[in-house]
Chain A
C-alpha cells in the first residue's frame, strides 16, 4: 500500500495547482486570533455571569439569615430549603457548563481534564461571586432586576409584601410628619401603596422618633386601629434596609436589636410602656 513516487507527485501537483487555480490563501492570523480571543471572552463572560449569580445567591441567603427563621421554621436547614434562590443556582450551573464548553474550545483547552476545568470555573465564579457580593453587586442586581421585571421577586419585593400588612400589624412607608391641625402624638405615614395612615406614636421611644424624623422609608409594627379612616397604633420602628447599604455585621446587629425589641413588646419586658397598647403585642402571620 505504500505510495509510489508518481502518485506523490500527482497529489503534490494537484494540491498546488488547486491552490493557484482557486487563489487559495492561508486564513489570516487576525481571524484565527479573533476566534481564539472570542472563546476566551465568552469563557470570561460565563464565569462573570456565574459570579454574578453567586453574588445574588449569597446576598439572598445571607440576607434571609437575618429574617426571623426561628419563628417560621423548625431549623435553619428547613428554612434554607424553602428560601434558596433556585433561579440563581440554576443560572450559575448553566454558566459553569458554558464556561467548561468555552474553555474546552480554546486552543489548549482539550489538554485539561474535565474535573480541573469544571473545578477551576466553579472556584473562579465562587471567588468572583464573593467579591461581587462584598462590593454590593448581589444586592444591586437583585434590586435592579426586581425593578425591571414584574415576574422577578427580589428580596425588596418579598419584604415589602411581608411588611405591607396592616391587618397583621405591619406597615412600611414614609412618615410625613404631623398633619396641619392634627396634634401630636398623631403623625401621618404614607405606605408603599400610597395610603395615608394616621399614626399614633405615643408609645414610640426616642430612637424611633429620630428614625421617623429622618424622612426615610421605615418598617413599623403595631396595632391596626381602623381601616377606614386608616388609623394605626405604632409600637416600634425599624429602618428599611434597602434604601442604604449595610454591612453583614450591621445587618446582624439590626436583626439582633429587632428581635430584642419585639420580644420586649410581646412579653411585656422592661422598656415598654407598662399597661400600654404595645406591652402585650400579639404578632400575627409568619414573623
Chain B
C-alpha cells in the first residue's frame, strides 16, 4: 500500500469503492479505531462483541454505500451507522449500556466545566474521571449519546445532528440538559459518599 490513500478524501475512496470493492479496506483502516472507541463508549465493552459489531458496521456501510449523501460528511454518515448498530446490539442483548469512559475522562472533566452551553451549575468539589464515568452511565440515554459525541468524539453540533438524526437546535438543548443532569447525578453521588 502506498501513501496515496492518505491523501484521498473519504468521498473519493467511496467513489473508488463503488468501482472496486477492495478500496473499501481504506475506509476500514481509517475508521476502525475511531468507531471501536465510539461503540465502546456507547456500551459495547467486550472484545468479542466489539468485533461482531464492528464487522456489522462496515458490512452495513458497504451495502449502503450508494445511500451516502455527499451533503453530509462521510464521518457523520458512518458514525450514524455505528451508533445505530451499537444501539441495536444492546437492545438485542437486552442490557443497559455501560460506558467505557474512564480512560480519557480527565479531558472531558475540563470540557464539562466550561460554560459553553450556558449551564450555570458548577461543581463545588473536585471530581475525578472515575466518578464522571459512573455518573455518565446513570444519566438518560439521549443525554449520554450527545455528551459522548460532543465531549469524547469532539463532534460539532451539525455533525451530531447528522449522526443522531435530530435538529441542530435539539442538539444544543440535549447537551445543556444532559450536563445539568450530569451535575445533579455527580452532586447526588458526592452526597452519598
Contacts and interface: CB of A to CB of B under 8 A. Distances in A.
B111 interface: no
Interface in B64-87: 64-67, 69, 71
B21 A16 contact: yes
B101 to A, nearest CB: 11
B69 A107 contact: yes
Interface in A83-137: 107-108, 110-114
B176 to A, nearest CB: 16
Interface string B5-29: 0000000000000100110110011
B103 A16 contact: no
B169 interface: yes
B168 A111 contact: yes
Interface stretch (A18-26, A195-203, A211-219): A18-26
Interface string B24-63: 1100110011001100100000000001001100110011
Contacts of A29: 66
Nearest to B100: A1
How many chain A residues sit at the interface, stated as a range, is: 20 to 34
A73 interface: no
B37 A1 contact: yes
A16 B24 contact: yes
What is the interface of chain B mostly: helix, strand, loop, or mixed?
Answer: helix
B28 A15 contact: yes
Interface string A1-45: 111000110011011101110001111110010000000000000
Which of A14, A15, A32, A111 neighbours the largest number of chain B CB atoms within 10 Å of its CB? A15
Contact of B36 (A3, A108, A110, A112): A3
A111 B66 contact: no
A8 B167 contact: no
Contact of A18 (B29, B55, B161): B55
A162 to B, nearest CB: 51
A11 B37 contact: no
B141 to A, nearest CB: 18
B67 A32 contact: yes
Nearest to A2: B33
Given A1-B40, A110-B165, A110-B166, A8 B64 contact: no
B170 interface: yes
Nearest to B51: A11
Interface string A43-58: 0000000000000000
A15 B64 contact: no
A11 to B, nearest CB: 6
Chain A to chain B: the 3 pairs with minimum beta-carbon distance, closest first: A110-B165, A26-B65, A12-B28
Interface of B: 18, 21-22, 24-25, 28-29, 32-33, 36-37, 40, 51, 54-55, 58-59, 62-67, 69, 71, 100, 103, 161, 165-170
Interface of A: 1-3, 7-8, 11-12, 14-16, 18-20, 24-29, 32, 107-108, 110-114
18 contacts: A1-B37, A3-B36, A8-B28, A8-B32, A8-B33, A11-B58, A15-B28, A19-B21, A25-B63, A26-B18, A27-B63, A27-B64, A27-B67, A29-B66, A32-B67, A110-B161, A110-B166, A111-B161
Given A1-B40, A16-B21, 18 more contacts: A8-B28, A8-B33, A11-B32, A12-B29, A15-B24, A15-B25, A15-B28, A16-B24, A16-B28, A24-B62, A24-B63, A26-B64, A27-B66, A32-B66, A107-B69, A110-B161, A110-B165, A111-B168
